[in-house]
Amino acid sequence: MTGTVFGARRALAAGLPDFPWDRLEPAKAAASRHPDGLVDLSIGTPVDPVPALIRAALAEASDAPGYPLTAGTPRLREAIRGWVGRWCGTESGSFGVLPTIGSKELVAWLPTLLGLGSGDTVVIPRVCYPTYEVGVLLAGARVLRADSLTALGPERVSMVWVNSPSNPTGKVLPEAHLRKVVTWARERGAIVVSDECYLPLPWESEPVSILSVCDGNFDGVLAVHSLSKRSNLAGYRAGFVAGDPALVDEVLAARKHAGMIVPAPVQAAMVAALGDEAHVGEQRARYARRRSVLREAFERAGFTVEHSEAGLYLWLTRGEDSWATVDWLAERGILAAPGAFYGPAGERHVRVAFTATDERVDSAASRL
Confidence (pTM): 0.93
- pLDDT value, residue 7: 47
**Cβ atoms 242, 222 nearer than 8 A:** yes
pLDDT more than 90, % of the chain: 90
Give, in words, the CATH class of 19-49+279-367: alpha beta
Domain boundaries, the chain: 19-49+279-367, 67-275
Each residue of 328-337: pLDDT tens digit? 999 999 999 9
What is the pLDDT, as a whole number, of residue 21? 83
pLDDT classification of 17: cutoffs 50, 70, 90: confident
pLDDT of residue 18: 79
Name residue 191's beta-bridge partners: 159
pLDDT 10s digits, 112-165: 999 999 999 999 999 999 999 999 999 999 999 999 888 888 889 999 999 999
Residues 6+ apart with CB under 8 A from 33: 333
8 Å CB contact between 212 and 77: no
Nearest to 31 by CA among 344, 279, 347, 337: 337
Per-residue confidence (pLDDT) for residue 11, from 0 to 100: 46
Give me the CATH topology for the region 67-275.
Answer: Aspartate Aminotransferase; domain 2 (3.40.640)
- The full length of the chain comes to 368
Mean per-residue pLDDT over the chain, rounded: 94
Q: What is the mean pLDDT of residues 166-170?
A: 97
pLDDT per residue over 222-272, tens digit each? 999 999 999 999 999 999 999 999 999 999 999 999 999 999 999 999 999
pLDDT tens-digit series, residues 40-76 = 999 989 999 999 999 999 999 999 999 999 999 999 9
Q: Which residues of 26-44 are buried (b: 16+ CB within 10 A; e: fewer)?
A: ebeebbeebeeebbbbbeb
Other CB atoms within 10 A of residue 301 CB: 15
Strand partners, 99: 240
Read off the pLDDT band of 12 (50, 70, 90): low
DSSP H helices in the chain: 2-14, 25-32, 52-60, 74-87, 104-113, 130-139, 175-188, 245-258, 264-274, 278-300, 322-330, 358-367
Determine the pLDDT at residue 15: 75
pLDDT at residue 303 tops 80: yes
- What is the distance between the alpha carbons of residues 227 and 79, in angstroms, rounded to a whole number? 13
